[in-house]
């Protein structure tokens, strides 16, 4: 597993191209986005608990009890490698983004393709206040690289948290106001999988891309 972060200063052209979308997206009426994974009544206490080290221990315990699967239904689709908690609170702007042509064209896509070869979308998440995604590893898509372009409206009000496969240390990477770019590769063995989660108490936009040609 490898993990790297890049700042706005390191990827200025990508930052500039994404900024063109962000102001428009933040002005969008939230009811026009997908609420399939969003519950406005979820409490801050629940969100904070789901991204703790204790929550990760419990998820791993359940995973071991269920033959390596967080959700037994995963075994039907991913016979040997699925790891996803399915526990999250966010809005999706997938269709909004698709309508604006960022999928396989446009300046932002060109800049992203310089970082991730054959880039394809892997996530379009708007985490509002009390937004989060619980611990997971994405092992149903193992052997890939990912680039997440994360925009935060406020400084140190949201984070990306992961457990180092090398030391089991829990690492919290706080978002700065503006952009942080996170690149990582993962696999489906104990040495290469990356347990990670996301938390936000502000508006946090996440544009995710994975490597591939299809």
Lowest mean pLDDT among 7-21, 55-69, 115-129, 196-210: 55-69
| pLDDT at residue 201, as a whole number | 97
Residue 137 near residue 79, CB atoms below 8 Å: no
% of the chain exceeding 70 in pLDDT: 82
| Chain mean pLDDT for the chain | 84
**pLDDT at position 150, please?**
97
| Cβ count within 10 A of residue 195 | 21
Range from 20-24, 104-108, 135-139, 178-182 that averages highest in pLDDT: 178-182
Q: Tell me, rounded to whole angstroms, the distance of Cα 138 from its chain centroid.
A: 10
Which residues touch 85 (CB under 8 Å, ≥6 apart)?
A: 59, 70, 134, 135, 136
Q: Say whether pLDDT at 128 is over 80.
A: yes
Residue 82 has a pLDDT of 37
> Contact 160/4 with Cβ under 8 angstroms?
no
Burial label for 97, CB within 10 Å (0-12, 13-18, 19+), is middle
User: Does pLDDT of 181 surpass 50?
Assistant: yes
> 188, 214 in Cβ contact below 8 A?
no
Would the pTM count as exceeding 0.95? Answer: no
> What domains, with CATH codes, occur in the chain?
2-27+47-210 (2.60.120)
Of 15, 28, 182, nearest in space to 93 by CA: 28
Say which residue, 145 or 200, is predicted with more confidence: 200
- Give the tens place of pLDDT for each residue, 71-104: 655 555 544 333 455 689 999 998 888 787 666 6
- Residue 214 has a pLDDT of 41
Q: Which of 177, 157, 204, 150 is nearest to 48 (CA)?
A: 157
End-to-end CA distance of the chain: 23
Mean pLDDT within 122-135: 92
């Amino acid at each position: 597993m490898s993990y790297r972060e890049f700042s706005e200063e390191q990827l200025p052209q990508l930052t500039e191209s994404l900024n063109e979308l962000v102001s428009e997206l933040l002005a969008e009426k939230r009811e026009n986005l997908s609420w399939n994974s969003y519950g406005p009544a979820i409490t801050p206490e629940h969100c904070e608990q789901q991204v703790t080290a204790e929550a990760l221990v419990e998820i791993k315990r359940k995973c071991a009890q269920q033959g390596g699967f967080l959700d037994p239904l995963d075994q039907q689709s991913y016979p040997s490698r699925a790891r996803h908690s399915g526990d999250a609170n966010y809005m999706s702007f997938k269709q909004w983004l698709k309508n604006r042509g960022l999928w396989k064209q446009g300046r932002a896509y060109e800049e992203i393709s310089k970082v991730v070869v054959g880039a394809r979308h892997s996530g379009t998440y708007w985490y509002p206040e009390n937004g989060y995604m619980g611990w997971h590893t994405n092992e149903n898509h193992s052997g890939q690289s990912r680039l997440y372009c994360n925009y935060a409206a406020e400084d140190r009000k949201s984070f990306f948290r992961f457990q180092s496969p090398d030391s089991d240390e829990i690492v919290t990477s706080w978002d700065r106001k503006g952009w942080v770019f996170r690149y990582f590769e993962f696999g489906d063995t104990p040495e290469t999988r990356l347990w990670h989660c996301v938390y936000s108490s502000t508006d946090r936009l996440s544009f995710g891309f994975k490597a591939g040609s299809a």
